[in-house]
A and B are shown apart, each in its own frame.
Chain A
């Protein structure tokens, strides 16, 4: 690797990234990120309201997203209808999208999603089409000849859920791209008691970096302030104080065993973080926006309140993670999507409304992710695991009302069909996430550190954005 000496900060970042290009292992990449983080902190602009948040809505199990974004007329629709047979939606069950960049095809969104329809048609939501995990640009020919390098554990939930969070499908990486961003940017925040990565849904890979891990808020927004825990009471009585002191004395011991050390430090940050988080959220007033009363609505409410408490938490950058599971619809796909897509749509809409209410909708971007798309063909009741799928991006900074990437043809045997309508993605998660990372404030030169395979899909020296769905 290049040995930097006597270099300027700009130079230093350049030197550091040269080690990460090409085949370098992720470990060295992470090392470079550590070196770069101080410099990056200085490069982040510091206006009085320099704030940005990314909200990941992960549809766990594999959303059948070719029934979420659907061609609505002509040959494209009849191909869809033929291929999907008993899973096909009728045109009357599709809400019209006014797509600003149509290629002649006419598109609709699932009729459980009128809120997203309206967000799309008013330019606040965009769709990213047939996006998925890719090691390199892949064609049916390269796949069939065996020459294509493929993601590990393709079509398997656990691997694909992991890779949608790491965006490194050819390695078993333990860090997610949100975590790697936090390694880079956390030091730009004035307070690190509560992580800039906040999860509504437990520990996750997306928000795990080399140093930074997520703060799990729990999804129960109602309970956050009222619960009188022993260790996060804002007015502890003598008993609680003594208990806290004693437990603190135990976990402050020097532990040699790795698991014990890990446990002690996790308890320590749990207790300290919850106290600080609770204090910060108490300072925030309620929203006028009504949040849905389901779990996703509750999670969105907590996200909104946490964003509102950004100054009390000392944050200029935050990421949020919401896992919404139950999308593995080998059966009951039609009925289940009717209910579950409605929950997604209402949740996305409520968050955006709340952000408009406090005047920072252009600083908060939500995006969906999911293990994979599903087979276009039916198994008689539902669909099975596949590959590329469609995703929704929403917020005031999104160039909405447009489709990004390429919406594929849906007839069986098309040039992306690996069998049963398992479609090869035409846009990589690297391109999708790099676009979000750039908007979030990651500099172009740092992108290869975050996404080691990005240069296979995107010319880093080009002046344009990877996909263009974020306003520059």
Chain B
């Protein structure tokens, strides 16, 4: 844009505007320039297409608190907008199309930009950048608390240093630095940890209760610096669900391979994710499309419909056609429109035929076994024989057996027809493209991810903004996970502190993640690689255990409405589905054991005794670093301030805070309660509070 625009009218109007200010106080501040703003939730915070986010102090005040330039007094006439800002000591002229460029009588042309947590302006006549010192100031959260709050959504837990680092560089730059971090596979960790005395990798001894996978996974989530990738990978594991609660429990390297696949695509592209999920043998086993065969009219056999259904219902488009804002499209009678019917499922089921485990290596083993006569070869082996010989491969992508594929024409959604005679690869790509490009996919997937990271009941506008990032990352590319994640985490509805006053905002913390949070927040030191946390009973205790869901429907459903105030208000709260009279108490008991009694249960990896790994409790190996907190025990208020920042981003209510402090005072009078125990009790009590258990 040109900075010469409108200079003439500025001079004219500056005088008139100053003259008008006094009677403006009486005018209703119903600005035409803000008429297309949308309210974010029910906060009194609005998003304007040109001004960005702002809140209004009362419906009639001309004073607005904007995210970009702080407090402004707004005046408009037919062709100009005037903003009065105290820090810039005067009036700024701009228009809806010119903003964030503005003209000031004293500074000349300036340009505003916001790189959270701060706002800056560029002054054209001095060619320099300046910080707007007051713009970031919120009466609700300071900048450190804003950073901590961001991290409560973007990670599984962050320590004091990480909070300070994000305070310095802001969420955008932190996200960009996280995007750069390479994938560290669990596979590599397993090969490093599980070696015998000769330094040879020994996975097969450890295939009991998923020992190897859990060990590598705990190490990763507790000590990895790829905080964002781990958070997103776990979110994906609750959408693209496979589970070791069942036969896969005996294949930990396979589960690790699935997790690594999710890790690779967590910050990649959704379409690639969909392809690799579909061909991963764990998914092929879990949703039974591994070994799916073309129909056989002679015996009345039909293709397996399991994957065909769940990929649509749970992974991509859902049951009803959606608008971009996540609301259901309605037919002329006002009814929701089913996205597919059962005949669509039978069509898609035929796509996923002829896919089976990559048995090339296994078949070679059989061929070289002199005791097996008539050993099959890859070109002729039947799926019955694969089953009979128990040939499996749960780690490598499944492969294509064209002779078992249904090559007839298939009709997909929205009128797309696959011609007859295509290869499996061609059919598969056509089917996955059909789902990936379905208009419901962006809002469907966006809402699921928002629910995992930020809030249970996102506004339609929020879903719409994220869905648009799904459609186009700004460079014309669809399904870019980095763009989707940035859109979710940097969205005004996630970031503005004003949402804290919305009684519907936020979500319940996933109970299992509290364990991880404690370890991350206080720098748990991982063991030397021969121990792992004994989390086998977590499904009972917390109602969840990563990658161990009771079914493909995850631990909880996205539309679960709990009984109580949330359900009464017609809101959903998925995580409440696993918060019941049993798990709420056992979670409190177990967290007490971990945090206060320091009794994290572990198993020891003993290369000498691989088959009978000893079950022991350790008290030191996973130690946490509490020295900074212990130093504050002389001043309980200061101690709670520090913990409040790291655990609850400064949002502990007065009542909760005083209940904890008076509790701690009483505890300090009990025999045997030292300073470290007092700190641990403080952490525990915060983590037991409703304030902590709901992130907002």
Please give the residue numbers on chain A whose beta carbons come within 8 Å of chain B beta carbons, in ascending order.
Answer: 60-61, 83, 85-86, 153-159, 172, 174, 199, 202-203, 208-211, 213-218, 220, 229-232, 238-239, 242-243, 245-247, 249-251, 253-267, 269-271, 273-274, 325-326, 328, 330-331, 375, 377-382, 384-385, 412, 419-420, 422
Whether the pair A381, B291 counts as a contact (CB closer than 8 A) is: yes
Report if A259-B573 is in contact (Cβ < 8 Å); known contacts: A60-B551, A202-B580, A229-B589: yes
State whether the Cβ of B228 lies closer than 8 Å to any Cβ in chain A: no
Using known A-B contacts A155-B342, A246-B663, A385-B305, determine if residue A262 contacts B565 with beta carbons closer than 8 Å: yes
Is B588 a contact partner of A247 (Cβ separation < 8 A)? Answer: yes
> How far, in angstroms, from A381 to B288 measured CA to CA in the complex?
10
Contact partners of A247 in chain B: CB under 8 A: 588, 685, 688
| Residue contact A250 to B581, C-beta cutoff 8 Å | no
Given the known interface contacts A242-B670, A249-B663, A258-B571, the answer about A174 and B561 at a Cβ–Cβ threshold of 8 Å is yes
If A157-B553, A257-B503, A257-B696 touch, whether A385 touches B309 (CB-CB below 8 Å) is yes
Q: How far is the CA of A157 from the CA of B309 in the complex (A)?
A: 10
Please, which residue of chain B has its CB at the minimum distance from the CB of A384?
B305
Bound Cα distance A253, B293 (Å): 60
Interface check B623, CB cutoff 8 A = no
23 pairs from A and B in contact (CB 8 Å cutoff)? A155-B345, A156-B309, A156-B319, A210-B563, A216-B580, A216-B583, A220-B540, A246-B663, A249-B662, A250-B656, A250-B660, A250-B690, A253-B656, A257-B694, A259-B566, A261-B690, A263-B576, A266-B581, A267-B690, A271-B585, A379-B304, A380-B304, A422-B342
A378 touches B300 (CB 8 A): yes
A262–B663 touching, CB < 8 Å: no
Return A153 CB to nearest CB of chain B, in Å.
6
Closest to A375 in B: B302
Chain B, 290-328, contact with A by CB distance < 8 Å: what is the 0/1 string? 011100100111111110010001000001000000000
Q: Give Cα distance in the complex from A209 to B319, angstroms.
A: 26
For B561, the chain A residues whose CB sits under 8 A away are: 174
> How far is B559's CA from A274's CA once the two chains are assembled, in angstroms?
28
Given contacts A159-B319, A249-B663, A263-B693, list 16 more A-B pairs with CB under 8 A. A85-B300, A86-B301, A156-B319, A202-B543, A203-B562, A208-B563, A246-B685, A250-B660, A257-B505, A259-B456, A263-B508, A265-B564, A274-B582, A328-B551, A380-B383, A382-B304
Closest A residue to B690 by CB, please name it: A260
In the assembled complex, how far is the CB of residue A460 from the closest CB belonging to chain B, in whole angstroms?
A: 28
Give the chain B neighbours of A253 by CB distance below 8 A: 653, 655-656, 659, 690
* B596 to A, closest residue via Cβ: A243
CA distance A171 to B305 in the complex (A): 26
**Closest A residue by C-beta to B667:** A242
Q: Residue B450 at the A interface, CB < 8 A?
A: no
* Distance between Cα atoms of A422 and B309 in the complex (Å): 16
A-B pairs with the 4 shortest C-beta distances?
Answer: A246-B663, A216-B580, A253-B655, A270-B584
Residues of B within 8 A of A (CB): 246, 287-288, 291-293, 296, 299-306, 309, 313, 319, 342, 345, 383, 456, 503-508, 540, 543, 550-551, 553, 557, 559, 561-567, 569, 571, 573, 576-586, 588-589, 592, 653, 655-656, 659-660, 662-663, 666-667, 670, 685, 688-691, 693-694, 696
Bound-complex Cα distance A246 to B582 (A): 20
A331/B663 contact (C-beta < 8 A), A158-B557, A246-B685, A382-B304 known? no
Contact A256 B503 (CB under 8 A): yes
Most buried by B among A159, A267, A380: A380
- Nearest Cβ on chain B to A155's Cβ, whole angstroms: 6
Query: Contact: B506 with A267, CB < 8 Å?
Result: no
A257 lies within 8 A of B573 (CB): no
Query: What chain B residues lie within 8 Å of A202 (beta carbons)?
Result: 543, 577-578, 580, 582-583
Cβ of A155: which chain B residues have Cβ within 8 Å of it?
309, 342, 345
Contact B659 A214 (CB under 8 A): no
Q: Which of B291, B456, B660, B663 has the most CB of A within 10 A?
A: B663
Residues in A with CB closer than 8 Å to B670 are 238-239, 242
Residues of A within 8 A of B696 (CB): 257
Contact of A262 among B564, B660, B662 (CB under 8 A): B564
Contacts of A61 in B (CB 8 A): 551
A217→B582 contact, CB < 8 A: yes
Which B residue sits closest to A172, measured CB to CB?
Answer: B559
Query: CB distance B302 to A420 under 8 Å?
Result: yes
> Do the beta carbons of B580 and A203 come within 8 Å of each other?
yes
Shortest CB distance A200–B (Å): 10
Q: How far is the CA of A340 from the CA of B693 in the complex (A)?
A: 38
In the bound complex, how far is the Cα of B386 from the Cα of A380, in angstroms? 14
Q: A263-B508, A325-B551 are in contact. Are A156 and B300 (CB under 8 A)?
A: no
Minimum distance in angstroms from A253 CB to a CB of chain B: 4
Q: With A230-B592, A325-B551 as given contacts, are A246 and B660 in contact (CB-CB < 8 Å)?
A: yes
Whether the Cβ atoms of A174 and B567 lie closer than 8 Å is: yes
Partner of A85, one of B299, B559, B580, B693: B299
Q: Which partner residue on chain B sits nearest A274 by CB separation?
A: B585
* Residues of A close to B300: CB separation below 8 A: 83, 85, 377-378, 412
Considering the complex, give the chain A residue whose CB is closest to the CB of B688: A247
Contacts of A270 in B (CB 8 A): 580-582, 584-585
Residue of A nearest to B686 (CB): A250
Beta-carbon nearest neighbor of B659 in chain A: A249
Minimal beta-carbon separation of B591 from chain A (angstroms): 10
A153 / chain B contacts, CB cutoff of 8 Å: 319
Q: Is the CB of B540 within 8 A of A218?
A: yes
**B691 & A379 in contact (Cβ 8 Å cutoff):** no
User: Which residues of the partner chain B approach A249 to less than 8 Å between Cβ atoms?
Assistant: 659, 662-663
User: Is the pair A85, B302 in contact by a Cβ cutoff of 8 Å?
Assistant: no
User: Closest residue to A215 on the B side, CB-wise?
Assistant: B581
Residue from B288, B540, B660, B666 within 8 A of A382 (CB atoms)? B288
Q: A380-B293, A384-B304, A384-B305 are in contact. Are A269 and B663 (CB under 8 A)?
A: no
Measured in the bound complex, the distance between the Cα atoms of B498 and A175 in whole Å is 34
On chain A, the residues within 8 Å of B557 by CB distance are 158
In chain B, what residue has the closest Cβ to A219? B540
Q: Chain B contacts of A229 at CB under 8 A? A: 585-586, 589
> In the complex the two chains form, what is the Cα distance from A209 to B586 in whole Å?
24
Selected from A203, A258, A267, A384, the residue in CB contact (under 8 A) with B503 is A258
Q: How far is the CA of A210 from the CA of B342 in the complex (A)?
A: 34
Say how far A33's CB is from chain B's closest CB, in angstroms. Answer: 14
Write out the residue numbers on chain B whose beta carbons fall within 8 Å of the beta carbon of A60. Answer: 551
Q: CB-nearest residue of chain B relative to A265?
A: B564
CA distance A193 to B125 in the complex (A): 73
Give Cα A384–Cα B6 distance, bound, in whole angstroms.
69
Cβ-closest chain B residue relative to A251? B690
Bound CA span A331–B662, Å: 59
| B384, closest chain A residue (CB) | A380
What A residues does B306 contact at CB under 8 A?
A: 328, 330, 384
Question: CB distance B319 to A231 under 8 Å?
Answer: no
Q: Are A218 and B694 in contact (CB under 8 A)?
A: no
- Which residues of A have CB within 8 Å of B299? 85-86, 378
Q: A259 is contacted by which of B309, B563, B694 (Cβ under 8 Å)?
A: B694
